[in-house]
Structure 1
Amino acid sequence: MNEIILAGSQPSPVPSEIFALLALLAISIVVLLILRHYLPLRTTPAYLLVPVFFALWLPASMVVLVPIDLASSAMVDDIDARGIWLEPRALRVSWRITYWLTFSLTWFILPILAEYSDSGYREPKDKVMDSLRANAQYYAIVFGSGFLLLIYVLVSYGHFSESLKSTVMALAYCWGLVLAIYLMGHGLVAIPRKILRNADISGRLRRIQSQAPRVYEQMEDAEMNLEDLEMQVLELSKRGKHGSARDFQDWIEELMDMTNLPESQPSARVLRGSGEASSKNLPTVITEKYMADLTRRLVRAKHARSRYLNEWNRLLEDAVHTQAILDSAASKKLDFGTPSATSGFWDRFTILTPYTRYLWYYRVVPILRIAFGILLGLASACVVWSEVVKGLLPSLSVIRYTVIHHWVGDTGKGQIGFAGQVIAALWMVYMCAAALTSITEVKVWRGRALVRRNTAPESACWYASQVARLSVPLSYNFMTFLGGVYKDTVFYDFLGQLINLTPLGKWFDYLFPMFVLLPVCATLFGLYGKVKRMFGFGADVIDVIDDEDAEGTAYGTGSWREGRDLIERELNGTSAAIRGRRADAASRLAAAAPGSGRGAPVMNIPGARRSTGAPTTPLGTSPTVRPQANTSARRVRAAAGEAEPEDENFFEALGHRVKNTIDTFDTPKWFQDIGQGIKKPKWMTGAGEGSSGGGSSRPQPQGRENSDIRRWFGGSDGRIRL
């Protein structure tokens, strides 16, 4: 009877379950809004949209599941004080579903879908086979590394104390923790520093102007690459009815529909000889593999052009708004003008008057940014401190005391209420935001980027897989901040015990997070900027612009003054006149060139051809009509007639930078004078006995035309062929 009474007095988890369902529904709405911001929902196929949705939704649900698990499993005296809680069985089922779906999306589903969407083949079967071939190397590295670690476990213990599944889970966690700690360490410094820097309006404008030359050059390079591929498709269409190209006539027509070629090519493109270069690039025999590669490169080039065009337009809009805020200090009135088509939802409402808008943006917003930046800086310091001390002195963890408010006696354990759950969720959101923000800033991911309403499917799958990969390590790493409380959770029973399967896993879990100090110090003291200035990688490393180097220059970029001129010419619409004068000069040079059918070299002017439906800048000017950025890399590349490779690794980038530097050197005078006073022997000059010296270039008699020693090396025209 007493048991029946006690059972009836136990509180029901139904209110907590309803709250959890409402929280998951809110997370679903937020994820859909994120997908709508970066992807066209109507045109994105369902086989891509559904996995990407779950790859974002499952990690976001961990922000709710971890606090619920902490409150449900901690030592509890008063059940009503533990906030939102669920039954252990429900928690275990939730963790199993969340973990294994995330694991499958990370390691199998999303990588295959990413390469499938990036494949240039037309048939689904060919796309699948191409995706499997592209992922073969990736899986070989993953499974090879896993096999070596399995041998280590077998040698250490002689047998598996747990199942093979447990070992795989532990290895996947260790790999995810390595990436998560590095990215989170960078973001913990970059986020508050960026907020604090943006509080200075003039400094923010200076940094925008310093970024303009680099962004402009990247956009022009993307346009040049796209135009070259479009011309190659045009030349391919001319051969579509002849030879091996007849088998791919429909495919070629689809490629022509993807291009933006007008009926008449501009004179600058024709004079530049791009048609001849494109025809030379075409193989003699057109194969299916070549068509797939051309399709993939064309799609990538279109997305790259869209990416840099979007980045350039956003930079122009930021420059206009920042300049307007800075200029409002004199008139005490601020008016941003008519909102552009790319403006956000809230930017289209004009609730504030010009004077109140001035007070808000010029007076209040900088103070709020300083306060918020200081707050996030303190939060970053707490996270770093908790990472360092959690293995040796867990009682000194700051996060532990902010989450656990109800301590139980002298046992060192406590219970977590609703306020602690909210604070824990906020800590997890900030840690995940620090890691995910770093992913978008690191420019070493094969040109992948998130573009508003036009993100490439392959990029969307890749970024979603990174979010899924980082969620589990960051969630478990946060739980270790709380001391012995986390060992009573279902998550620890499901995953934590498997991580401690070997002494290596235990020490790795406690000591490796201390290496968060490496990315923190590297970002805090500007190590990335120093490396960029030393080796000249441009956008191949994390884009860190130091305040003290705002007026300096780096490779591929100009000073803030050059960026200011580029922005002013773009906004004032003078770039069209500049481009027209350059095109006229190129035409005159080509017309004045001597015969033999080859024109004189002309200036490379990308972007002269555009359709009337091109997007516009915030002020209504065409974003594709721009002045040419004057950089050494562009001069060398234009002179050599080569395009910069799409994907460069560390050594290729370093080799190109060294080559460009050497090519732009002027030969010293002392080096040019070497050999002027040395006379050449007669047998080297080819002169007769009446020759006057080494500098003579008089032709030799007809009878001795081929009796020179040079003919042994294959030449008789003043050169020796080795």
Structure 2
Amino acid sequence: MWVFYLISLPLTLGMVLMTLRYFAGPEVPRYVLFTVGYTWFCSLSIIILVPADIWTTISNPPHHNENGGISVLWSLSYWSTFLLTWAVVPLIQGFEDAGDFTVTERLRTSVHANLLFYLIVGSIGLFGLILLITMHKIRSRGVLGFAMACSNTFGLVTGAFLLGFGLSEIPKSCWKNADWTTRQKVLSHKIAKMAVKLDDAHQDLSNAIVVAQATSNQMSKRDPLRPYMNVIDDMLTQMFKEDPFFKPQGGRLGENDMDYDTDEKSMATLRRHLRRAREEYYRYKSEYMTYVMEALELEDTIKNYDRRSSTGWKYISSFRPARTGKIGALLDTVEFVWKCILRKQIQKLLAIILGTMSAAILLAEATLLPSGVDLSLFSILVNSVKSEEVFVQ
């Protein structure tokens, strides 16, 4: 059992860290990174718990209810996910989204927003429950069971939708991405779509900057709200220092854009709007540049493949200096073989494997209810090696 934990635990942690590194922005606080990382780890903990649980069930004698520490791990994963979903993550999300100037005010804003959301949802649920009781659809003693059934139904339906999307979309996208012509068309469409979003985000950020500058200019130095305005001015200064090439263009004042200097809450709203506009602009800019670079690299790969006879099967990149020496020539050949030949074949092979796994899962789910019929590929594999712990896991 411990051998499997020593393998699966570092693997799961590595997946979480790689995902965090890929998605996290440069200014994300550490406590947010830790919370998101632990949340993803709880979600991916099934990679560790399910194989261990299967082996525990197989190795124990029949009618053995004691399953040792695996139940503790399942409980830890469940309650951690429960608390993170309904309390911790929404609270941190609201705290980070708030534009208030003190920690206390940001926390208060987050709590207020979450309580309002839960109050609305709870009121709707309570109204539906009272309606069902008055219509004699359920009895008061069955409320707990009804709530559990609704919770399970929501989880099953949501899981079915997500699973159905993943079972078909992931193999299909892997197969399509292996075709260069199709991938070029997809990237062209994404670049055009992202260019529109980037232009809108640039306009929104320009408007936010113009509003902030106009509000600062009309506010006197003795104004009680001036300290809050100084914080926003520092944000603008830091923004232009980090990106000196950004130029606000087309910024204009709206009808109510000069009403931010009325109280502390309005200043917090201005700060929040400026920060969200900035984050949205740089997020779209990053996505746009990612798609553009991928399209250029794909075009580079196609050109290298077409000119393979004249270049001697060496990859000549347009984005880096040419390599020199014998090792450089060898690396160019290896890069050509990987990018122009092997990668697309591996993508097709991966698509076939994932498609086969999807078909096996669908077949197993379709034959789950009939007794005496076991068409689950995973069940057959587990039963064939059920005496070997490592192979089962």
Q: Which TM-score applies when normalising by structure 1?
A: 0.46
Describe how 1:532-611 pairs up with structure 2 within 5 A. Answer: none
For the residues of structure 2 that align with 1:404 and 1:112, how far apart are their CA atoms? 42
| Amino acid across the alignment from 1:381 | A
For the residues of structure 1 that align with 2:152 and 2:347, how far apart are their CA atoms? 36
For the residues of structure 1 that align with 2:248 and 2:70, how far apart are their CA atoms? 64
| CA spacing shift, 1:360–1:17, aligned 2, 3 Å | closer
1:569-597 per-position Cα deviation (integer Å, ceiling 9, x unaligned): xxxxxxxxxxxxxxxxxxxxxxxxxxxxx
For the residues of structure 2 that align with 1:143 and 1:339, how far apart are their CA atoms? 58
- Structure 1 residue aligned with 2:282: 306
For the residues of structure 1 that align with 2:347 and 2:82, how far apart are their CA atoms? 38
| Amino acid across the alignment from 1:361 | K
Partner of residue 107 from structure 2, selected from 117, 120, 128: 128
| CA spacing shift, 1:25–1:289, aligned 2, 3 Å | same
Which deviates more, 166-175 or 363-372?
166-175
- Structure 2 residue aligned with 1:56: 40
- Structure 2 residue aligned with 1:31: 16
Cα pair 2:300 2:318 within 8 Å, conserved: no
Cα pair 1:120 1:292 within 8 Å, conserved: yes
Partner of residue 71 from structure 1, selected from 55, 78, 88: 55
Cα pair 1:405 1:416 within 8 Å, conserved: no
Describe how 1:317-396 pairs up with structure 2 within 5 A. Answer: 317-332=293-308, 333-338=314-319, 352-392=330-370, 395-396=373-374
| Amino acid across the alignment from 1:143 | G
- Structure 2 residue aligned with 1:420: 392
For the residues of structure 2 that align with 1:101 and 1:251, how far apart are their CA atoms? 38
| CA spacing shift, 1:146–1:46, aligned 2, 3 Å | farther
For the residues of structure 2 that align with 1:168 and 1:140, how far apart are their CA atoms? 17
Partner of residue 176 from structure 2, selected from 197, 200, 225: 197
**Percent same amino acid at aligned positions?**
22
Alignment gaps of 5+ in structure 1: 1-15, 78-86, 341-348, 408-413, 422-722
Cα pair 1:198 1:369 within 8 Å, conserved: yes
- Structure 1 residue aligned with 2:311: none
| Amino acid across the alignment from 1:51 | T
Deviation at 1:106, TM superposition (A): 0.8
- Partner SS, residue 294 of structure 2: helix
Deviation at 1:382, TM superposition (A): 2.0
- Partner SS, residue 182 of structure 2: helix
- Structure 1 residue aligned with 2:141: 159
Cα pair 1:235 1:278 within 8 Å, conserved: no
Partner of residue 258 from structure 1, selected from 199, 218, 235: 235
Question: What is the total number of aligned residue pairs between the two structures?
Answer: 373
Deviation at 1:49, TM superposition (A): 3.0
Cα pair 1:48 1:113 within 8 Å, conserved: yes
- Partner SS, residue 246 of structure 1: coil
For the residues of structure 1 that align with 2:115 and 2:375, how far apart are their CA atoms? 43
Compare the two structures and name the one with the higher helix fraction: 2
RMSD, aligned CA? 3.6
Cα pair 1:196 1:373 within 8 Å, conserved: yes
Partner of residue 91 from structure 1, selected from 70, 75, 84: 70
Cα pair 1:226 1:301 within 8 Å, conserved: yes
| Amino acid across the alignment from 2:49 | L
Partner of residue 113 from structure 1, selected from 74, 92, 98: 92
Which deviates more, 282-291 or 205-214?
282-291
| Amino acid across the alignment from 2:32 | L
Deviation at 1:127, TM superposition (A): 1.4
Partner of residue 240 from structure 1, selected from 209, 219, 230: 219
- Structure 1 residue aligned with 2:257: 281
Describe how 1:390-539 pairs up with structure 2 within 5 A. Answer: 390-392=368-370, 395-406=373-384, 417-421=389-393
Question: Is residue 223 of structure 2 the alignment partner of residue 249 of structure 1?
Answer: no
| CA spacing shift, 1:174–1:247, aligned 2, 3 Å | farther
Deviation at 1:386, TM superposition (A): 2.6
Cα pair 1:120 1:296 within 8 Å, conserved: yes
For the residues of structure 1 that align with 2:273 and 2:260, how far apart are their CA atoms? 19
Cα pair 2:12 2:45 within 8 Å, conserved: yes
For the residues of structure 2 that align with 1:157 and 1:208, how far apart are their CA atoms? 56
Deviation at 1:381, TM superposition (A): 1.9
Deviation at 1:234, TM superposition (A): 0.4
| Amino acid across the alignment from 1:31 | V
| Amino acid across the alignment from 1:176 | G
For the residues of structure 2 that align with 1:129 and 1:120, how far apart are their CA atoms? 11
Deviation at 1:230, TM superposition (A): 0.4
Deviation at 1:314, TM superposition (A): 0.7
| CA spacing shift, 1:144–1:205, aligned 2, 3 Å | same
Cα pair 2:42 2:77 within 8 Å, conserved: yes
Question: Is residue 5 of structure 2 the alignment partner of residue 20 of structure 1?
Answer: yes
Cα pair 2:209 2:248 within 8 Å, conserved: no
Describe how 1:688-707 pairs up with structure 2 within 5 A. Answer: none
Higher relative contact order (CA 8 A, sep 6+): 1
- Partner SS, residue 176 of structure 1: helix
For the residues of structure 1 that align with 2:290 and 2:53, how far apart are their CA atoms? 42
Cα pair 1:112 1:132 within 8 Å, conserved: yes
Cα pair 1:235 1:279 within 8 Å, conserved: no
- Structure 2 residue aligned with 1:224: 203
| CA spacing shift, 1:415–1:194, aligned 2, 3 Å | same
Which deviates more, 349-358 or 194-203?
349-358
For the residues of structure 2 that align with 1:285 and 1:309, how far apart are their CA atoms? 31
For the residues of structure 1 that align with 2:194 and 2:151, how far apart are their CA atoms? 37
| Amino acid across the alignment from 2:57 | S
| CA spacing shift, 1:292–1:102, aligned 2, 3 Å | same
Q: Which has the larger radius of gyration?
A: 1
| Amino acid across the alignment from 1:384 | L
For the residues of structure 2 that align with 1:279 and 1:187, how far apart are their CA atoms? 46
Alignment gaps of 5+ in structure 2: 309-313, 322-326
| Amino acid across the alignment from 1:54 | Y
| Amino acid across the alignment from 1:159 | R
| Amino acid across the alignment from 1:378 | T
Deviation at 1:420, TM superposition (A): 3.2
1:383-423 per-position Cα deviation (integer Å, ceiling 9, x unaligned): 2333333235682542443443249xxxxxx77843232xx
Deviation at 1:102, TM superposition (A): 0.9
Cα pair 1:116 1:127 within 8 Å, conserved: yes
